[in-house]
Amino acid sequence: MKSSEELTIGELADRFGLATHVLRHWESVGLIEPARRAGGRRRYGQDALVRVALILMGKEAGLGLRELSAVLSAPDPMDHRDLLRRHVAALEQRIARARAAKDLVEHALACPHRFAECAHAREQIAARIPPGSTDERLRA
C-alpha cells in the first residue's frame, strides 16, 4: 500500500464525520489500530475504513464498545452467539416498547377526549401504577 493510500487520523475522522478523539478512544480500547506511525503520527490503511464502518454499524445496532470489541476480535464470528442472542432479545424489548409508545401517541392524535378522560388512556395509566395502597408505601 502506498503512503498516499494511507489516511491521517483527521482524514479518517472527517470521512465519517467523527471527532478525532473518538478514533483515539477506539484505539485505546483496541477497536482500531493504525497501520503504522510516520514521524509519531498515526497512519491508517484502507482496512480502517471497513473497521470504522463496522463499529458504527454495531453502535447503531445498540452494541456497546466492550461488546463490539469482543465480537470484532473473535476469530470465529460464532464465538459470541450468546452475547448476540441477548442483544437481540434486548432489541425486541425496545421495539415492543417503541411500538406501544407509537400506538399510544397515534391514539392520542385520533382521540377526541382529553388524555385523562380517555378510557384507553386510563387503562394505560392504570397499568403503570404499581400495586399496593398509598398507605402501605407511606409506612415503608
Q: How far is CA 47 from the centre of its chain?
A: 23
- pLDDT for residue 133: 67
Q: Which three cell numbers stand for residue 115?
A: 388524555
Q: How far is CA 139 from the centre of its chain?
A: 41
- Of all residues in the chain, the percent with pLDDT exceeding 70 is 91
- pLDDT for residue 135: 53
CA distance 31 to 23: 9
Q: Under a CB-based contact definition with an 8 Å cutoff, are residues 62 and 91 in contact?
A: yes
At 10, the pLDDT band (50, 70, 90 cuts) reads very high
CA distance 103 to 132: 28
pLDDT digits (tens, 9 = 90+) for 88-132: 999 999 999 999 999 989 998 999 998 888 888 888 888 889 998
At 32, the pLDDT band (50, 70, 90 cuts) reads very high
